[in-house]
Amino acid sequence: MRYSALSLVRQGLAGQTGWPQAWRSPSPRSVYDAVIVGGGGHGLATAYYLAKNHPRRRIAVLEKGWLGGGNTGRNTTIVRSNYFFPESAAIYDFALRLYEGLSQDLDYNIMLSQRGILMMGHSEHDMELMTRSVNAMLLNGIDVELLDAAQVRAEVPLLNFEPGARYEIHGGFTQRRGGIARHDAVAWGYARAASALGVDIIQGCEVTGFDIVDGRVAGVRTGLGRIAAGSVGLCAAGHSGVLAGMAGFTLPIQSYALQAMVSEPVKPVLDTVVMSAATGMYVSQSDKGELVFGAGLDLYPSYAQRGNLPVERDVIAGMLEMFPAFRRLKLLRAWAGLVDVCWDYSPIIGPAPVGGMYLNCGWGTGGFKAIPAGGWMLAHLLATGRHHPISAPFDLGRFTSGRLIDEAAGAGIAH
């Protein structure tokens, strides 16, 4: 929808009360063709692509809280596709390509900023491993470039290049198509577009159980009553294991808190995303001017959606070693999300052990960048009952066949 400058002024003078609702908020029907559990980015993208690519279905998204109130609204918004294995490169680059056209597709500005990501190498050993990773990524068709120390310095002059710096910089690599996007806008854009295609988006609706008849799902039980559905998609991130438990199976997943922080806003000082596996730190600057930075996983599994001080302290120490100029900034706020981590740090997409039920989970610390692809793949499964070729390697069956996709090292900073 487009607004004239005059209509924006009128809205301002009228107290912003006249905007149309971005998505409908209907009461749930008693029956749908497909129910999607979880109104984060993956659930909403699934609903949108199901309605758009496979029309004529009655679809509902059930969210126990509010849209994007889980990890989608808590993440640090980095998008990139620099993964080690061809299977991962295929899915994450498919997502990045969809992101590149998403504002137009949804008619909603997701504020994609392809400012590049820069991964630091702090030793000769780091650089040897990086050379190997970069070669693998180039073979996967990903736009990465190895950089020496002088090139890194030209890109980010604020980094600490002093002799004797604790984290010496020997070089790094960049993916220039990587960057950040506005997380809320991704959720809201998908919600608005899905609602316009007839999807019922129901907030405040917790799924508390499943009706399963002869090994097939027949519906869901919710705080708002029973809803019948022959197809159910699970997109519940840190609570995937809980939902699997309700359906009578287990997943090779553990849930952890992952935390992040922002500083007070300052003028533009950093025009790319800097990541450092050795310090366990990454940082970018938001459009508001805040430095958005974060950490690795908390050390123990938990369902508590809050971080702890030791991780915060370590990540701030790492950042200040690398960016001494940030020392005098004040910390504005810190928070955590509950992420679902698989044994091989790759997601699970595919049929669940219950007929008619499909999984999109295990994105762990890195699923924001994957939202368009995760949604596309789950929509394909819900519509056809079969894998899209890109999602096939991520089937749950890999944990029994042994064909794991171990991205622990290649997946980035937060593992």
Using CB under 6 A as the criterion, which residues of the chain lie in contact with ligand PYC when the complex forms?
76, 78, 80, 282, 294, 365-366, 369, 412-414
Q: What is the distance, to the nearest Å, from the Cα of residue 363 to the centroid of all Cα atoms in its chain? A: 7
**HEC letters along 272-322:** CEEEECCCCEEEEECCCCCEEEEEEECCCCCCCCCCCHHHHHHHHHHHHHH
- 412 makes contact, choosing from ligand FAD, ligand PYC, none, with CB < 5 to 8 Å by partner type, with ligand PYC
Q: Does 207 bind ligand FAD (CB under 6 A)?
A: yes
Q: Does 217 bind ligand FAD (CB under 6 A)?
A: no
CA 177 – CA 142 distance, rounded (Å): 9
**Number of residues this chain uses to bind ligand FAD (CB under 6 A):** 39
- Report which residue type is found at 85: F
- Least Cβ distance, residue 370 to ligand PYC (angstroms): 9
Q: Of 414, 415, 413, 405, which is closest to residue 84 (Cα–Cα)?
A: 405
Nearer to ligand PYC, 282 or 323 (CB): 282
- Least Cβ distance, residue 339 to ligand PYC (angstroms): 9
Q: Are 224 and 28 in contact (CB under 8 A)?
A: yes
For ligand FAD, the binding residues in 269-298 under the rule CB under 6 A are: 294
Nearer to ligand PYC, 231 or 365 (CB): 365
- Least Cβ distance, residue 80 to ligand FAD (angstroms): 8
Q: Does 233 bind ligand FAD (CB under 6 A)?
A: no
CA 327 – CA 225 distance, rounded (Å): 53
- Among the listed residues 34, 35, 36, 41, the single contact to ligand FAD using CB under 6 A: 41
- Among the listed residues 118, 119, 185, 237, the single contact to ligand FAD using CB under 6 A: 237
Q: Are 376 and 90 in contact (CB under 8 A)?
A: no
In the DSSP assignment, the letter for residue 172 is E
Radius of gyration of the chain measured on its C-alpha atoms: 22
Burial 84-105 (b: 16+ CB within 10 A, else e): bbebbbbbbbbbbebbeebbeb
Q: Does 314 bind ligand FAD (CB under 6 A)?
A: no
Q: Which residue's beta carbon is nearest to the bound ligand PYC?
A: 366
Q: Does 63 bind ligand FAD (CB under 6 A)?
A: yes
- 99 makes contact, choosing from ligand FAD, ligand PYC, none, with CB < 5 to 8 Å by partner type, with none
For ligand FAD, the binding residues in 97-156 under the rule CB under 6 A are: none
- 413 makes contact, choosing from ligand FAD, ligand PYC, none, with CB < 5 to 8 Å by partner type, with ligand PYC
- Name residue, tokens 């907030």: 203
